[in-house]
Structure 1
Amino acid sequence: MTCRPAGTIRTVSGPLPTSAVRGPVLAHEHLALDLRRPGRPAALLDGRHEAAIAAELADLHGQFGLSLVVEQTCRGMGRDVAALARVSATSGVAVVAATGWYYEPFHPPDVRRADVGRLVETLTRDVEDGIGPARIRPGLIGEVGSHGERPSAPERRTLTAAARVAARTGLSVATHTCLGRGGPAQLALLTAQGLAPHRIAIGHQDLLDAPAVHRRLAAEGAYVAFDTVGKTAYQDDATRLRLLLALVDAGHADRVLLSCDISRHTYLTCQGGQGYGHVFRSFLPRVRAAGVGDDLVDLMTRRNPLRLLGSRFT
């Protein structure tokens, strides 16, 4: 069993005290990824885009103080932790790597055949021994996914393994939900394995126009991720703002995470996309204009993700 010191985050460059993170955090992004399938040729971020990604992050560090990116590309998604280390070193922005399995259509064949015990062993090796030749240790289990109101049988196994490893090692879990659906079922499954809800972030809730579900997740102690900001093909930002304000007005600003989930090269600013900075350049000014003060903005963009990442096993 591995315990980390309280207030320490695992980054691709090594341990980082949470006290060293003075600026905002992007809680769910991708810097290296391959989710290409027929009809989705742009779902790719690889070496051809690395310099542009590093330049974007460096610019955001200079303009907005961006201090940390939580990179949630996991097994079966084209994970490349060596690329994350290079981007972090070039941009000057700390990066957290992740492990786990995405939702069922992206499960590798060996996962479909493995039982929970074997999946636990695989994740434990990543967490305790590190990933790749450089043995980079992940700071999060995510984005572990499901794609319906309730996880499929293979997704139940991967989510169960994620929860068990998180409970043993002190890492937290971040999830993927398809269009925001299935968050309550994910939370119930994860907590049934002994994982505390404050160490769980339920993903993509800004794609689900259901304020009552958001309040329920937050009231149970989970983080509610509004992490696809700017993806207007899925949801307009006006709806995201309304949903966010409803959650803040209900007293749950301390459960909110914000990010953009850049997951294809056409989203990069050099290719005319909204980029990693959309949340800072476009969305947060609208949040502030709606009456949300700087302290709550700092809570949602810095302190909340740091609490999620810096929690420890006790």
Structure 2
Amino acid sequence: MSTVHTVFGPLAPWLVRRGPALPHEHLVLDLGRPQDRHAVLDAGPDTTAVTRELASLREEFGLSLVVELTCRGMGRDPAALARISRASGVPVVAATGWYHEAFHPPEVASGDVEELTGILVREIEDGIGPTGIRPGVVGEAGTSGERPTEPERRALLAAAAAARATGLSVVTHARLGRGGQAQLDLLTGAGLPPHRVCLGHQDLLDDTAAHRRLAAAGAYVAFDTVGKEHYRPDADRLRLLLALLDAGHADRILLSCDVSRRAYLQAAGGHGYGHLLRDFLPRARAAGVDEDLVDLMTRRNVLRFLTGSECDEER
């Protein structure tokens, strides 16, 4: 098994022996727009609250890793991620790539696939700007509908090419869970193996057949908006999760909360990063999900996805 690349360098997966990981979160971001000025986690005033939450989850549940998917054009701040990681004691993986078209920086409109691939590869190999912090995943590479727009298509193709060149995996943003099959077809058509693809926000799509098709194709299916009840009740998420487990696809499921604005923080009265661990998983256990399956979905699958391993072997 190869290493997981965190903001402080390589982390051997066998060191993450116990305790869950959160594979789709944001610790610092800025998606604020005139119609929604509150989609922000500020590197200044919010950092203390984020750090306290992660430290508390490390103490209570043994939180072992956070994959932070704020990428280019989303207010990414790798230096702030390093500060949060150091202060909380929780390893953090940084990301590169492009979100969906509404948040693309000008480089996407002006760049072809080769140019965009070069941008990502340079960050992965040399680090993000002057920080030298190297991303450990490509994502969240976004589309905004059933089919990618032309700029989204180029950004996804660049994500696939950069992942192939550097050995990383790709996490997608599928708005409201739609378009996952089109994303997978595009990425695998560009030569990226399906087990290096995680299709985001599938818990927002009430379509068990679609989930089964994606998992059967070998991709990871993310139920990563746990706790966002205004999008879909957690009761629906649990029903969809149990259906995918019953279909035999436990080894292709990732679970997370996608905290993406200040209002979701516990300090602001929100469900916080720990909702999956404190609330959702106990309901899953009550529905018959055993501890080995919980560990598979919340730890081993995350490590397998990030490293490209197809087995659960550990040192």
Do the two structures share a fold, i.e. TM-score over 0.5?
yes
- Which residue, out of 38, 44, 63, partners 1:42? 38
Q: How many residues align?
A: 307
RMSD value, Cα:
0.7
| Aligned AA (2:15) | A
**2:89 maps to which residue?**
92
- In structure 2, the residue matched to 1:62 is 59
Does the alignment pair 1:18 with 2:13?
yes
Deviations 1:114-172, CA, capped at 9 Å, x for gaps: 11111011001111101122210000000000011110100000000000111111000
Once the two structures are superposed, residues 6-32 of structure 1 have per-residue CA deviations (whole angstroms, 9 ceiling, x without a partner) of: 331000011000011121000100000
In the alignment, residue 193 of structure 1 is paired with which amino acid? A
Q: Is contact 1:175-1:202 (8 Å) kept?
A: yes
- Equivalent position to 1:121, from 118, 123, 134: 118
Q: 1:167 aligned to 146, 149, 164, which one?
A: 164
- Deviations, residues 8-62 of structure 1 (Å, cap 9, x unaligned): 1000011000011121000100000000011212111111100110000000000
Residue 31 of structure 2 contacts residue 40 of structure 2 at CA under 8 Å; is this kept in 1?
yes
Counterpart for residue 112 of structure 1: 109
Distance in structure 2 (CA, Å) of the matches to 1:52 and 1:26:
17
Matches within 5 A, 1:215-294: 215-294=212-291
Separation (CA, whole Å) in 2 of partners of 1:115 and 1:15? 31
Letter of the structure 1 residue corresponding to residue 21 of structure 2: V
Do the aligned residues in 2 keep the contact of 1:144 with 1:176 (CA within 8 Å)?
yes
Secondary structure of the 1:309 match is helix
Q: Tell me which amino acid in the other structure corresponds to 1:140.
A: V
- Residue 312 (structure 2) aligns with: none
Where 1:176 maps in the other structure, the secondary structure is strand
Summarize deviations over 1:78-129 as a string: whole Å, max 9, x none.
0000000000000000000000000000001221111111101100111110
Q: Which amino acid aligns with 1:232?
A: E
Please give the TM-score of this superposition, normalised by the length of structure 2.
0.96
SS across alignment from 2:222: strand
Q: Is the 8 A contact 1:81 1:132 kept in 2?
A: no
Distance 1:132 1:268 in 2: 28
* C-alpha contact (below 8 Å) 2:121/2:165 kept by paired residues: no
Q: Moved runs in structure 1, 4+ residues, more than 4 A?
A: none
The 3-state SS of whatever aligns with 1:28 is strand
List gaps (5 residues or longer) in structure 2: 310-315
5+ residue gaps, structure 1, are: 1-5
- Separation in 2 of the partners of 1:296 and 1:32? 30
Q: Distance in 2 between matches of 1:244 and 1:258?
A: 10
1:30 maps to what in 2? 26
Shifted more, 97-106 versus 18-27: the winner is 18-27
User: Aligned partners of 1:270, 1:132: CA distance in 2, in Å?
Assistant: 31
Q: Secondary structure at the match of 1:230?
A: coil
Q: Give the equivalent residue in structure 1 for 2:3.
A: 8
- In structure 1, the residue matched to 2:135 is 138
2:110 and 2:8 map into 1 onto residues whose CA distance is 34
Aligned equivalent of 1:303: 300
d(CA) in 2 for partners of 1:62, 1:79: 27
Identical-residue share of aligned pairs (%): 66
Distance (Å, rounded) in 2 between the aligned partners of 1:248 and 1:168: 33
